[in-house]
A and B are shown apart, each in its own frame.
Chain A
Amino acid sequence: MIGSYFTDEFRQPRATHIFFKGLVLYTLVKIVLAWQISAAMVANHNLPAPGSWAGKILLLPTMLAGINVHAFYFAAMTLLVLAFLLKPYYVTRLLFFYLTFNLYVINLPIANGSDIVLFMLSFWSIPMGRFPSITIQRKTDFQKMIFNLGLVLCQLQIVNVYLVSGLDKLFSETWRSGESLAYITHLDFYYNPVLPEMFENDSINFILSWCTILFELLFVALVWTKRARLPILATGVLFNLFIWIVLSIPDFALLMIISFLIFLKDEDYDKLKKRIRP
């Protein structure tokens, strides 16, 4: 029965924890790299100051950042280091989500899509904790169910990003004709001409444009299949590296590459270990 998928066992406990560590590390790097500009921006920007107690509790870190942004970032780094080192405790994951949400609020004027995706992935990481154990009638069925539910919802979150993006491109004449790539080469703040003549040929633009549409739509279906899962993830890594270098969107591309870790299985890590140390 399909329902037993959710209650039989914790699905991919090691892989999900590695995924969580990936998110933590990503946040840590992003804070270090954007610390200076964030501090300059916060110095001139009115952060939200909620009146209600619920709002105050929810945005307590934001309020701390408003008083002393450097103290806030030091505290955030400490939490991230702990979250990286500790076992999958619910409380560290909850605090990680709390932090990513507040980071989004603090840096709202300089936020982009990657910040929303980050706090949603950290939200789905909360049920993927395993400690302390939750038992009902000395059984952990309920804990397994919320763990596996969190895992599937997290995977669907990433699949939705590609589904929406693929459909948007499929219904756009500019993308279907390949003209989109000619436009991209004229984006003053995104395009990095590492391969200067790459997008000058209309036929190549047409092919590359359709490769993008097909990848995004096929990802939605193929990432669930046994045989195509790893090849489509590998293609996804290349696709995002291309976005990182040519389109200069490093944070979004890196986050999407890290997000692919949630589709790996514990056996994949075992195989990798055997390959490295036969």
Chain B
Amino acid sequence: MNNHPPGLSFKKNLGIAACVLILIHILISVLVIVLPPRIVHANFLTSTYRSLMVVGPFFYESRIKSSSHLDIKLYTNERWSSVNETRIENFTKYKRMPWRYDLLRKNDFEEYAAYHIRSLRKKDFENVKRSKVFRELNQFIIGQHGDSNVDSVWLCHFIKVYLPQSDSFRYDTIFAYTYSPHEIGPAKR
């Protein structure tokens, strides 16, 4: 028989409900950590949990073993510019001026674009040129260089992998394209 007054019993039930919720949360969190990703991502609940409640890891092994590069050259006034590694330039500037956080974000955009174009590389270049991400990158490059007289752009995306045994690097070219920026449609609808 319950001897508690109604107010106390409501309070007790609330306490129990909170404990049960926390336990369920911990249980699902542990499950999404220990289960293989194939199983976790096959279910909406566990997949959402893994993406939002149990975030990370951010600095995983493959991310520390290689860097993704995007080299750019612009053809203006009948001559090619030197290879422009804007990401290295941005990072060097950031090291000198650590309040220029925007330079790191600029690098993130180029990495995002290169990553998404990489996923299209089985398509021929005509299709790649029509893709949303390629148009965005093209407009971003032209906008950043502030030069409307660019005749051609050369883009080269490669992965630089460090080899600790020989203290050397391996370079894997992912794509290299030369195109006229004026042929590319506008990025925004």
Do these two chains interact? yes
Our pick among A1, A35, A188, A189 for the contact of B15 (Cβ within 8 Å) is: A1
In the complex formed, the residue of B with least CB distance to A3 is B15
Q: A37-B105, A109-B109, A120-B52 are in contact. Are A165 and B10 (CB under 8 A)?
A: no
Within 8 Å CB of B103, what residues of A? 37
A7–B19 CA distance with the chains assembled, in angstroms: 11
Q: A3-B15, A117-B55, A248-B94 are in contact. Are A152 and B65 (CB under 8 A)?
A: no
Within 8 Å CB of A172, what residues of B? 60-61
Number of residues of chain A lying within 8 A (CB) of chain B: 67
A221–B150 CA distance with the chains assembled, in angstroms: 58
Whether the Cβ atoms of A189 and B188 lie closer than 8 Å is no
Whether the Cβ atoms of A44 and B112 lie closer than 8 Å is no
Our pick among A179, A250, A252 for the contact of B164 (Cβ within 8 Å) is: A179
Whether the Cβ atoms of A189 and B67 lie closer than 8 Å is yes
Our pick among A157, A182, A183, A252 for the contact of B53 (Cβ within 8 Å) is: A157
Report A's interface with B, CB cutoff 8 A.
Answer: 1-7, 30, 33-38, 40-41, 43-46, 107, 109-113, 116-117, 120, 136-137, 139, 141-142, 145, 148-149, 152-153, 156-157, 160-161, 163-165, 167-169, 172, 174-175, 179-180, 182-184, 186-189, 192, 247-248, 250-252
Known contacts A3-B18, A250-B98, A251-B101; 18 additional CB pairs below 8 A are A3-B16, A6-B19, A7-B15, A34-B101, A35-B102, A44-B139, A44-B187, A112-B108, A145-B18, A153-B22, A160-B53, A165-B59, A174-B65, A183-B65, A188-B91, A188-B160, A189-B87, A192-B95
- In order of increasing CB-CB distance, the 6 nearest A-B pairs are A3-B15, A6-B18, A168-B57, A186-B162, A113-B58, A33-B101
